[in-house]
Structure 1
């Protein structure tokens, strides 16, 4: 998946050996890569992307599940979130077929936008069909899905206390050997180094942070991030630097963190309140940041740390902790 993963778990005498756990986890990740990677020509998603308009392809159940999740998020966000933004990502220089980061020609942008839109997809039984030459990109939800699959596998193997992380998406369940909760550090949105803004206890939740602070380029003094509003055909332009979402499903945490980042500080906040999402919003304010937490987040973790100061970082994670940071 072009990144890293970690699994920490509490071993028991009757439990599986670490080599068995590693093999099970890596088998899941290899399957995810085979189905959803846009960086390998033999993946299922790339095969689907190469099909012409008015074509269908028989696909596995979880592929159709993620396509349906994307449809739901697209509908809920009035089209701002969209899994078919691949042509835009390539055009702006953020996708696998890009030719360098740059502001595209208006005519090329108009042509690419004709190939974007979840309305051009439909599920018919075990097939996914396209009415236009759209291309899917699952990077906004595939990692969360991978975490959920790993969690299911660990529990099936008799492991009931663990912290799973893949490309920055996390889920923690159970307790550490000393009885304390797994600790998750929420990263301050800085592109120079990792700094923890807040450390929270997590048990039974997936945690996802989406941000614009590592994957971006600048042209003529304007900053362009890899986060796209499909309705506009261009990167978002607002002050929201990152969003963290806590959900029982790591897949939904992954998707909603991206959705809220796209919507921005005002629309995203209203959406989070309306859908009772546990979320933290961090916006740029001068040379620093301002953060605020939804009521659902405060209830889930027992509080909310105040706005971070660029001069006074929060504590760094300790042993048995994970860092929820920006991802693609």
Structure 2
């Protein structure tokens, strides 16, 4: 069994970890070219720093004249448009939702794998993680409201509406069936899938596959929203250092994660997307068991693994479960995590202690 360290911060943090790609420490080395880009895809900001050996920042590998960063961005757009989006009719998730109550639909091997893993985590968490809550997510619609230029008139859902949306969800009702040459999925009438809780992690795994196709890419650090992939080596040597902001003072850093290449980091907290009604904050991370924003002892959680899908899914699940149950879940997946409660106390896995270092001002 893993041991856990509890450590109060000098500054009471209401939430945990906003990863700031702009504060990746270390610049482009003299022996390599560096591709930098900041774009948007999958409804979030994509920040890339890619180190390429040789005299040109363009990685051709005999296949394309595009920069690696352009190839990555195109892949993320394809993921949204062809597979993960519930909004776009062209995407697999939207097509599954359109067949709710109409019988099975064949899905790609990739989608089958993602859904199978989602069901496994739902079972492990007793339903605290559940991608079948699309109706509930749309009912609260906090993401859309928080992104609005002038969010004025948010109205909380009625309890009756929440109960109706919950009645249309339930991971046990999603049937994934392996047939001779294909996999099909069936969902009941009214159910809607939303893979937002794993989408950024899926993106990290797909980005890693792309980078592995380019031998001239010696290292990279790429952020998809709050989920980050480290890859390969820094030109000047040493570990990747990812700055961690104080969510109460976003312009300040509270510490860093020091990681080798090959790690994925995901964070979940209530400080990025939320609404406030009558002085109460309602964030975007919903508890499928209650139908409302999760209310555990956790203000924020960050996960470190070598699997992007898991890092993303586990950060959501652990936020909903709270620190005690979240720690038990991490043991099952051999993942490292760090929790912070509303009193500013950190609880981290033993393995996380080697990665996270407080800034001098917080010690």
TM-score (norm 2): 0.76
Instruction: Give 1:294 shift.
Output: 0.8
CA distance in 2, matches of 1:111, 1:243: 30
Match status 1:205 vs 2:288: no
Instruction: Give 1:80 shift.
Output: 0.7
CA distance in 2, matches of 1:157, 1:283: 42
Contact 1:189 / 1:211 at 8 angstroms: preserved in 2?
Answer: no
Pick from 281, 290, 313: which aligns with 2:345?
Answer: 290
SS at match of 2:74: helix
Pick from 210, 217, 221: which aligns with 1:163?
Answer: 221
Which residue number corresponds to residue 208 of structure 2? 151
Show the 5 A alignment for 1:292-307. 292-299=347-354, 301=355, 304-305=356-357
Instruction: Give 1:96 shift.
Output: 6.3
SS at match of 1:243: strand
Bigger relative CO (Cα 8 Å, ≥ 6 apart): 2
Match status 1:182 vs 2:240: yes
Contact 2:143 / 2:284 at 8 angstroms: preserved in 1?
Answer: no
Contact 1:147 / 1:171 at 8 angstroms: preserved in 2?
Answer: yes
Count of aligned residue pairs for this structure pair: 304
Contact 1:239 / 1:284 at 8 angstroms: preserved in 2?
Answer: yes
Instruction: Give 1:305 shift.
Output: 4.0
Match status 1:266 vs 2:324: yes
Greater radius of gyration (CA): 2
CA distance in 2, matches of 1:216, 1:96: 10
SS at match of 1:173: strand
Instruction: Give 1:120 shift.
Output: 1.3
CA distance in 1, matches of 2:247, 2:329: 22
Instruction: Give 1:156 shift.
Output: 1.1
Deviations 1:251-303 (A, max 9, x none): 11111111100112332234335654311112222xxx22221112124x2xx
Match status 1:92 vs 2:115: no
Which residue number corresponds to residue 184 of structure 2? 127
Pick from 98, 123, 127: which aligns with 1:75?
Answer: 123
Show the 5 A alignment for 1:1-328. 1-13=42-54, 17=58, 19-34=66-81, 35-94=83-142, 101-125=154-178, 126-158=183-215, 159-190=217-248, 193-203=250-260, 204-273=262-331, 275-285=333-343, 289-299=344-354, 301=355, 304-305=356-357, 312=361
CA distance in 2, matches of 1:97, 1:73: 29
Contact 1:169 / 1:208 at 8 angstroms: preserved in 2?
Answer: yes
CA distance in 2, matches of 1:28, 1:195: 33
Instruction: Give 1:68 shift.
Output: 1.2
Instruction: Give 1:250 shift.
Output: 1.3
Instruction: Say if 1:123 and 1:185 are closer, same or farther in 2 by CA, change over 3 A.
Output: same
| Alignment root-mean-square deviation, CA | 2.6
Structure 1: 5+ residue runs without aligned partners? 315-328
Deviating more after overlay: 233-242 vs 98-107: 98-107
Structure with more of its chain in strand, by fraction: 2
Instruction: Say if 1:96 and 1:66 are closer, same or farther in 2 by CA, change over 3 A.
Output: farther
CA distance in 2, matches of 1:50, 1:194: 43
Instruction: Give 1:240 shift.
Output: 1.5
Instruction: Give 1:25 shift.
Output: 0.9
CA distance in 1, matches of 2:92, 2:300: 31
Instruction: Say if 1:195 and 1:76 are closer, same or farther in 2 by CA, change over 3 A.
Output: farther
